[in-house]
Amino acid sequence: MEKVAFVLVGAGRAGMVHGRNLVHYIPEGELKAVVDVDAAKAQEAAGELGVRWYTSFDEALEKESFDAVCIASLTFTHRDIVEKAAGARKHIFCEKPLAQNLEEALAMKRAVEAAGVKFQIGFMRRYDPEVRRAWEMVQEGLIGDLVLVKSTGRGPGLPPAWIWDRAKSGGMLAEVSSHDIDAVLWFVQKKPERVFMEAKNFKSPEARTQFPDFYDHYLLTIAFLDGPFGVVDGGCPVGYAYDARMEILGTKGMIRVGETEGRGPVLYTPEKKAVRDTQAGWALRFRDGYLEELKAFIRAVLADTVPTPSLEDGLRVVRVVEAGHESLALGQPVAIKEW
């Protein structure tokens, strides 16, 4: 069986989801090594996955023979790894968000195009069975013309401290809601004309002390010419659950995707009529999406086809994020000029 050999960069939560999928669930994929700047984390991950470990991608490039890199490291490291991988003619699967700003994203695009390697951005909701079926329903015309596409993304806890710093992460809009922005763009399939963002810090005074521009809840509206309303509703920490839902309204009906309840049993007691645990987290909710997106990337490499979603899809989300933050600073809508 022909296989695609990978080096995994980043042994955090998302990285380990991809690593375990490669080792246990994708016969056409082979994991050669894991890279993490934290030696203890790299060693622990490598021990679990049964591979070699490094603390720098440069060392992995020098010592390992592989076909592709799976990038699941912090956002501000993406450009450097992508440029080095492309320079070494390695295919690239990169977690979202693509980059922390437009300048970095464009540099990554130039590197990938110059090298002619394949690139897929990790917008796994496109491969989630529920979301994908909803998208197919829209394409089949089951709800008529689109009126509203709304994507909600809320997390139970406050993200890691590095995300609080918009100089490193692109902010909560990028780190938490890139999937939501991409989902809206994917469903609508039109160029957005302008965006308007409002945001506040309701629950995180400690983050605001360090970073005055930090926000923990926000609303982004996306206006499309001759198209539907687009809305992204996000927030962390909400406490009650991991909450990822979509509502797609059309002229002939409505589609709703996702729920805050988990998939476990329902408990009935005299005190509470019915209780089911809330959704535990993104890794469980979207486990099928994470698996299928990596399978799709491997198929594209083996068949020499174009992976999707593309680097261009990642770049478009970065453009929307930057326009959103500009809108937030100005207090008014901001036009999307380039697309």
Instruction: Give how far Cα 244 sits from Cα of 4, 115, 173, 237, 288, Å.
Output: 32, 36, 14, 13, 15
Report the greatest alpha carbon distance in the chain: 66
Domain range holding 70?
Answer: 4-125+289-308
Task: Say yes or no: 216 and 138 in one domain.
Answer: yes
Spatial separation of the C-alpha atoms in residues 145 and 131, rounded to whole Å: 18
The strand ranges marked E within 180-332 are: 192-200, 217-224, 229-235, 243-250, 254-257
Q: What is the pLDDT of residue 169?
A: 87
Separation CA 13–CA 15 (nearest Å) = 5
The pTM (predicted TM-score) of the whole model is: 0.94
Do 133 and 78 reside in the same domain of the chain? Answer: no
Which of 158, 242, 173 has its CA nearest to residue 213? 173
Structure tokens at 118: 């394949």
182 in the same domain as 328: yes
Predicted local confidence at residue 140, as pLDDT: 96
Do residues 164 and 231 share a domain?
Answer: yes
Q: Bin 184: left if φ > 0, else alpha if -120 < ψ < 50, else beta.
A: alpha
CATH number at residue 112: 3.40.50.720
Query: Residue 264 has what pLDDT?
Result: 61
pLDDT of residue 268: 61
Residue among 124, 97, 87 at smallest CA distance from 315: 97
CB-based burial of residue 165 (10 Å sphere; 0-12 exposed, 13-18 middle, 19+ buried)?
middle
CA 125 to chain centre: 8
DSSP for residue 75: G
* CATH number of the structural domain spanning residue 155: 3.30.360.10
Residues 252 and 299 in one domain: no
Instruction: Give the chain's length.
Output: 339
| Residue from 115, 169, 142, 156 nearest 262 by CA | 156
**What's the N-to-C CA distance of the chain in angstroms?**
40
Work out how many domains the chain is built from and give that number: 2
Residue 206 sits in the same domain as residue 150: yes
- What are the residues whose beta carbons fall under 8 Å from the beta carbon of 138, sequence distance 6 or more? 146, 187, 248, 250, 255
Angle between helix 78-87 and helix 102-115 axes, rounded to 10 deg: 10
Determine how β-strand 254-257 pairs with β-strand 243-250: antiparallel
Residues 179 and 327 in one domain: yes
Same domain for 48 and 134 = no
Bridge partners (DSSP) of residue 154 are 235, 243
For residue 262, the model assigns a pLDDT of 63
Tell whether 320 and 196 lie within a shared domain.
yes
- Return contacts of 38-47, CB within 8 angstroms, 24+ apart: 38/11, 41/11, 41/12, 42/11, 44/11, 45/8, 45/11, 45/15, 45/16, 45/19
In the chain, count of helices (H) and strands (E)? 13, 13
For the chain, list residues with pLDDT below 50: none
71: phi then psi, degrees, rounded to nearest 5? -100, 115
The verdict on 148 and 254 lying in the same domain is yes
Are 204 and 179 part of one and the same domain?
yes
Q: Are residues 80 and 219 in the same domain?
A: no
